[in-house]
């Protein structure tokens, strides 16, 4: 999803930026905001770093792969594509997380170049579909993991439950058919693809519980 309140960066604003580092910054900020949101602001709780690890591997990874999918597909079509983190929104997302509100608007992939409506739609679709695929992956994890299974001290069932919920929601949220959301571009390209994607996202978000 693109930042709602900013236009695409010009060449001067991109000069000297490494968009991989921009992605890393946005991943870290989003993970921190999500962990604070889950813990209801209790950052000194003994469980906070455990939750932060889960946040980084679920919401953070979901965001990171969402934006990378946009970038990969755009570049595959020959467009110039860069991720730019929005420092202001990262700070806002961390601040409002203490109020029990989660906002995921850490930045966006901007692309330039001639694109057909189909190519633009596929670039937009790549992000939400990535989240929905991740949600299915976490759903499958929840089916095979046992209560004692863990990796690096993180219980797989905790990882699966949170990873499924946040990625299903991110996939659905980004399919809003208005404004800067991915759904608006997908709908402008092909309403059938839009309808199927939203239907799957609704099923995963509200029809299946982990």
Q: Which residues are catalytic?
A: 67
The enclosing H or E element of 79 equals none
Residue-wise DSSP of 153-210: TEEHHHHHHHHHHHHHHHHHHTT-SSTTSHHHHHHHH-HHHHHHHHHHHHIIIII---
Give the chain's radius of gyration (CA, Å).
17
**Cβ distance 58 to 33 under 8 Å?**
no
Neighbours of 41 (CB within 10 A): 14
Residue-wise DSSP of 96-159: HHTTT------EEEEEES---HHHHHHHHHHHHHHHHHHHHHHHHHHHH--TT-EETTEEHHHH
**Cβ distance 161 to 139 under 8 Å?**
no
């Amino acid at each position: 999803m693109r930042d709602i309140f900013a236009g695409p960066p010009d060449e001067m604003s991109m000069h000297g930026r490494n968009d991989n580092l921009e992605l890393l910054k946005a991943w870290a900020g989003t993970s921190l905001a999500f962990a604070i949101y889950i813990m209801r602001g209790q950052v000194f709780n003994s469980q906070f770093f455990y939750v932060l690890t889960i946040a980084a591997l679920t919401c953070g990874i979901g965001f990171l792969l969402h934006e990378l999918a946009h970038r990969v597909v755009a570049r595959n079509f020959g467009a110039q594509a860069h991720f730019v983190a929005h420092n202001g929104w990262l700070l806002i997302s961390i601040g409002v997380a203490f109020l029990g509100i989660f906002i995921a608007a850490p930045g966006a992939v901007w692309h330039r170049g001639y694109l057909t409506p189909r190519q633009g739609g596929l670039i937009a679709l790549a992000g939400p579909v990535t989240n929905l695929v991740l949600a299915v992956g976490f759903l499958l994890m929840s089916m095979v993991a046992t209560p004692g299974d863990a990796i690096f001290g993180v219980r797989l069932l905790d990882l699966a439950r949170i990873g499924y919920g946040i990625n299903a929601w991110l996939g659905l949220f980004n399919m809003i058919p208005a404004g800067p959301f991915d759904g608006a571009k997908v709908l402008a390209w092909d309403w059938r693809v839009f309808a199927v994607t939203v239907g799957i996202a609704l099923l995963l978000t509200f029809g299946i519980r982990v």
